[in-house]
Structure 1
Amino acid sequence: MSVAESLSAEISRALGRPFRAVAMREAGGGCIHRTLVLEGDGGRWFVKLNSGETLPMFEAERDGLAALAEARAFRVPQPLCCGLIGGQAYLVLEHLDLAPVAGRADAIACGRALAALHRTTGARYGWRRANFIGATPQANTEHDNWARFFAEARLRPQLARAAAHGPTLRKKGESLAEKLPAFFLDCRPPASLLHGDLWHGNAAMCGGLPTVFDPAVYHGDREADLAMTELFGGFPEAFYAAYREAWPLADGYESRKTLYNLYHVLNHLNLFGAGYLRQAERMIDRLLAELRG
């Protein structure tokens, strides 16, 4: 069978009624997976395809989207099914007609939605399963201590992967990881449900509703999501004002923002190469200098 025929069969089984693709086109825009749009008499579906060993990525994405949907703060594409066809992994999602976050009203709606998402909390930091940040495995072993979780499940795995970039980064990074409790002396952040990979490319509007996708969910400090929105820009000031109005930030956010974004910069270093090395080193140096006073 062709890819379209195989996917049609899987979609039919998931729907419990016949679906036959009459058109299939490349969607584009993905840097990890092949993306398709399938159209047929039973609707339109967004499909991700990759080699068979990437099925755990799709299963994690499916579960993350389900967790976000349950929080009822953002609209998310509903996952229909995932599995293997002809040795390829696939994930079928509801197709959404997306529009950019444009204008003050959209920004305010997104800021309020993010605050509402973060009001959904867990008992511990982490999540019930491991997942992925981009193509990188992301451990979510649960902890009662946020600083310990961030050191053990976030910084240290990325520092270990970055060993090929020389001993200096790892040595300084380990020094920082040992000192993480100093950033949280006056606060124990709630274990908020986080999107986990909230750059502007993973947020949009759909039918006037704030919408997110491609998550890397876990329970953690809500500031980690906000920090990433600032790392690559793209969110207007009205977004942040609306968030802070709904849920003000604690003192010390600027320092913690650098700490949380270090995780993503290290991940980019490991995924895309040495172009991110100096940025990571500067961030670690800045954080260590702050601790020295």
Structure 2
Amino acid sequence: MEPLALLGRAGLEAQGPPLPLHGGEMAQVYRLGPYVVKLARGAPPGFFPAEARGLAALGAYGVRVPRVYWVGEEGLVLEFLPEGPEDWEALAGMLARLHRRREAAYRAEPGFLGTFPLPGREGGDWTEFFFLRCIEPLLAATWSRLEGLGPRVEALFRTPLPAEGPSPLHGDLWRGNLRFTPEGPALLDPSFFVGERGVDLAMMRLFGGFPQAFWRAYRALYPIPEAVERALPRYQVYYLLAHVHFFGPGYLGGLWKAISAS
């Protein structure tokens, strides 16, 4: 479906021609005046509804997110957020407040990391929850391409991960899913679930990561225990397995490095 047709499906009127925006590797994204239209050819069933649920969940916790105007299996229509100045202290405050929240149990609805489907799960021990919900499905999908690293990955999760308490997570917090707006930082394209904050912190350290201005402010608001710091490479394995799945063996070196640092 074309972006103008999807906007019409949503009952909204286009204001100008579609302007392509960067949408990562998983979607085609266009701006049409005050709207952003997201499409993905061959998207799995439930892909866009899961993103809309994640945005709604983060918004309910006080995180700035774009408004969802319409969602369907065909795509998603969002509010366009204009660009504003970088404010890493404000981002640190927003994430520290999110990560300090405590829920009754670990939980995840069926969702996606990129377009990779992840099962729903609720409750139980954190290490078991994280392995079965996040690691095991990706491990099964990539085993034949891991060049013998599969058993090393499995062994990482025989040792318990540190547990501070169930916290709401963005779930895919790389720099491309952050936008600074005139009203402050906003988060995009979540893979939302309730887990341990180390999952978000680990992704924020990969692929160039976030600047020291953010980390100084975040640590001042919510110090990171040494045990959580040591666990970050094990959480990074989750994202590196996804990159092996989507993009191939070029990420095996990064996966080996994370395993060795664990």
Partners of 1:260 and 1:134 lie apart in 2 by 16
Secondary structure class of the residue paired with 2:101: coil
Partner of 1:155: 135
Partner of 1:108: 89
Determine if contact 1:154/1:263 at 8 Å carries over to the other structure: yes
Offset at residue 198 of structure 1 (A): 0.5
Offset at residue 246 of structure 1 (A): 1.4
Partners of 2:240 and 2:64 lie apart in 1 by 28
Partners of 1:151 and 1:54 lie apart in 2 by 23
Offset at residue 234 of structure 1 (A): 4.2
Partner of 1:120: 101
Determine if contact 2:39/2:76 at 8 Å carries over to the other structure: yes
Stretch moving more, 222-231 or 233-242: 233-242
Structure 1 residue runs of 5 or longer lacking an equivalent are 13-18, 288-293
Partners of 1:2 and 1:265 lie apart in 2 by 32
Partners of 2:212 and 2:72 lie apart in 1 by 41
Partner of 1:210: 185
For residue 80 of structure 1, the aligned residue among 56, 62, 69 is 69
Partner of 2:198: 223
For residue 165 of structure 1, the aligned residue among 145, 163, 166 is 145
Offset at residue 285 of structure 1 (A): 3.4
Structure 2 residue runs of 5 or longer lacking an equivalent are none
| Identical pairs, percent | 35
Partner of 2:10: 11
2:109 matched to 1:97?
no
Determine if contact 1:55/1:83 at 8 Å carries over to the other structure: no
C-alpha change, 1:246 and 1:3, in structure 2 (3 Å) is: closer
Secondary structure class of the residue paired with 1:193: strand
Partners of 1:100 and 1:174 lie apart in 2 by 43
Q: Which structure shows the bigger proportion of residues in helix conformation?
A: 1
What are the Cα deviations for residues 26-68 of structure 1, in whole angstroms up to 9, with x where unaligned? 32311221212223xxxx2100112365351100000000001
Secondary structure class of the residue paired with 1:205: strand
Determine if contact 2:64/2:186 at 8 Å carries over to the other structure: yes
Secondary structure class of the residue paired with 2:107: coil
Larger RCO (CA within 8 A; separation ≥ 6): 2
Secondary structure class of the residue paired with 1:144: coil
2:260 matched to 1:285?
yes
Partner of 1:236: 211
Offset at residue 11 of structure 1 (A): 2.8
* Alignment of structure 1 residues 124-273 onto 2, 5 Å: 124-127=105-108, 129-166=109-146, 168-177=148-157, 179-181=158-160, 183-184=161-162, 188-273=163-248
How well do the aligned residues superpose, as a CA RMSD in angstroms?
2.0
Partner of 1:32: 26
Extract structure 1 runs of 4+ deviating beyond 4 A.
none
C-alpha change, 1:208 and 1:148, in structure 2 (3 Å) is: same
What are the Cα deviations for residues 238-262 of structure 1, in whole angstroms up to 9, with x where unaligned? 2112111111112223321111111
Q: How many residues align?
A: 261
TM-score, L = length of structure 2? 0.91
TM-score, L = length of structure 1? 0.82
AA in 1 matched with 2:166: A
Determine if contact 2:7/2:77 at 8 Å carries over to the other structure: no
AA in 2 matched with 1:200: R
